């Protein structure tokens, strides 16, 4: 039997910093308003033509591969999580394979929004535990800035999101006391439209209809969010899925060395921290700098925490996410 372990980490964010004050120049908002509601001070937006979802994923993946000590030829499979692919189809996994010059290995695309990285991690974990693959490249990348309504109408959503990518090499581990101990995945489609982009889509309005109407008031192709409803569900599901992971491994809250939550809203993370009575050293947040990078937020935070020396051998890590779908997930890792 095998466990899987994280064998290399990398992240990339664009150089272009967009502050709250920058946003206040193009919409009716302010630094105080944004920080009070989200905790965000700045985020990164790509410069059109310089980055894509795939190119950011490639840059993060190259760092992760180098840190793993593996060669490209040792990568057996790709799992790519995103809600913002370069094309409607095909997904970015195959583009990543091409740009990295990898062998003709399989590439799987994951569409689970804010929970995407943990879902992708779970898939990779199962492939390795069954012995099918030895080294899997997991990438989460999001280019959201070009799809936001950067006007007063969209300010409550658009100030939240940023661009970036994170990557991890998941490799075989023979020591069953280490690695990814368990993952826990959930969904509740009943609330799908509470946080969504409703068009274009085959089941609703297609792009040709949107273009034909040329309606400047059509908001269906911009993200919509019932903020209070999402917040209330998030704090409940975060708590549930963290507890589920701890119980599955006979662990207590006191055993958590570091919790890395999806960076959706600093207020959500602070609520969870207070509920579990965790110290500041037990929770890692970086939404203040990068905003909500959806599927990429956890691998970016995980990489940054590791780079800052906040993760040590033997530590118990908890990853947890909640987002559109609704989907939510957790992973328990012994480093």
Instruction: Determine whether 292 is an active site residue.
Output: yes
Query: Residue 191: which of 52, 26, 326, 6 has the closest Cα?
Result: 326
Cα separation of 161 and 324, whole Å?
14
The reported pLDDT for the residue numbered 221 is 74
Q: Give the tens place of pLDDT for each residue, 124-137.
A: 999 999 999 999 99
**Tokens found for residue 110:** 């994951």
Q: What is the pTM of this model?
A: 0.94
Cα separation of 297 and 64, whole Å?
16
The DSSP code for 325 is T
CB atoms within 10 A of CB 41: 18
pLDDT at 43 over 80: yes
Instruction: Determine whether 184 is an active site residue.
Output: no
Active-site residue (options: 3, 233, 262, 285): 262
The reported pLDDT for the residue numbered 209 is 65
Q: Give the tens place of pLDDT for each residue, 157-198.
A: 999 999 999 999 999 999 999 999 999 999 999 999 988 887
The reported pLDDT for the residue numbered 256 is 98
Residue 70 φ/ψ region, left for φ over 0, alpha for ψ in the -120 to 50 degree band, beta for the rest: beta
Rounded mean pLDDT of the chain? 94
Instruction: Determine whether 249 is an active site residue.
Output: no
Active-site residue (options: 20, 112, 114, 285): 114
Q: Mean pLDDT, to the nearest integer, of 95-118?
A: 97
The reported pLDDT for the residue numbered 199 is 73
pLDDT at 1 over 90: no
CB atoms within 10 A of CB 50: 10
């Amino acid at each position: 039997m095998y466990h899987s372990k994280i064998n290399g980490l990398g992240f990339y964010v664009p150089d272009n910093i967009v502050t709250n004050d920058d946003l206040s120049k193009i919409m009716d908002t302010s630094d105080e308003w944004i920080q009070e509601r989200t905790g965000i001070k700045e985020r990164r937006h790509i410069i059109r033509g310089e980055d894509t979802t795939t190119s950011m994923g490639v840059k993060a993946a190259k760092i992760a591969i180098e840190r793993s000590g593996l060669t490209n030829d040792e990568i057996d499979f790709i799992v790519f999580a995103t809600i913002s692919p370069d094309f409607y189809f095909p997904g970015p996994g195959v583009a990543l394979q091409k740009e990295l010059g990898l062998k003709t290995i399989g590439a799987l695309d994951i569409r689970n929004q804010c929970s995407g990285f943990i879902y992708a991690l779970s898939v990779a974990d199962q492939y390795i535990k069954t012995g099918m693959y030895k080294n899997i490249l997991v990438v989460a990348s999001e280019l959201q800035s070009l799809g936001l309504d950067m006007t007063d109408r969209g300010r409550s959503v658009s100030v939240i999101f940023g661009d970036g990518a994170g990557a991890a090499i998941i490799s075989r581990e023979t020591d069953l006391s280490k690695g990814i101990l368990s993952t826990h995945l959930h969904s509740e489609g009943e609330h799908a439209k509470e946080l969504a982009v409703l068009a274009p889509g085959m089941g609703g309005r297609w792009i040709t209809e949107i273009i034909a109407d040329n309606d400047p008031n059509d908001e269906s192709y911009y993200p919509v969010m019932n903020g209070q409803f999402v917040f209330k569900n998030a704090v409940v599901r975060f708590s549930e899925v963290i507890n589920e992971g701890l119980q599955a491994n006979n662990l207590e809250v006191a055993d958590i060395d570091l919790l890395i939550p999806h960076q959706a809203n600093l207020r959500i993370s602070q609520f969870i921290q207070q509920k579990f009575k965790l110290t500041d050293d037990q929770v890692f947040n970086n939404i203040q700098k990068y905003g909500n990078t959806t599927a990429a937020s956890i691998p970016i935070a995980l990489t940054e925490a590791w780079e800052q020396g906040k993760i040590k051998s033997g530590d118990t890590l908890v990853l947890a996410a909640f987002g559109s779908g609704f989907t939510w997930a957790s992973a328990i890792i012994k480093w």
